[in-house]
Amino acid sequence: MQVVKYMFQPHGDERGQLVALEEFNDIPFKIKRVYYMYDTGEGVVRGNHAHKSLEQILICIHGSCKIKLDNGTEQKVVPLEKPYEGLYVANNMWREMYDFSSDAVLMVLASELYDENDYIRDYNEFIDFIKK
């Protein structure tokens, strides 16, 4: 399984760092939605679902967390610990987010608006879906 990580270009000077993300330039899709998670409790596992068509870029803009990706045959764990790195998560990919540091802010850029019908929340259903 190929893990696609984007390294964004920080604009740094004596004042600090700034990262700018533009759809189609830095992000491979039109950004229709942005959401972020923070105050995630110790030991919490989020995600546990796949999407039928949604594409996302996950950026831990503060703190750190881990992302487990599962394409139905292979699993990969990707640590996210830099505000200038983004993990591309395609559709048809089971994902779990865990090991959040107490200060973690995980921001997600998404290619579509929120649509509960795009979720697959049952792992066996996910396996059946990708076989089709």
Q: Which residues bind ligand TYD (CB under 6 A)?
A: 33, 35, 46-47, 49, 114
The closest residue (CB) to ligand TYD is 46
- Choice among 11, 49, 51, 62 that is catalytic: 49
d(CA 77, CA 99): 11
Nearer Cβ to ligand TYD (35/122): 35
Nearer Cβ to ligand TYD (10/49): 49
DSSP 68-132: EEE-SS-EEEEEE--TTEEEEE-SS-EEEEE---TT-EEEEEESS---GGGEE--HHHHHHHHH-
Nearer Cβ to ligand TYD (11/32): 32
Active-site residue, 49 included: yes
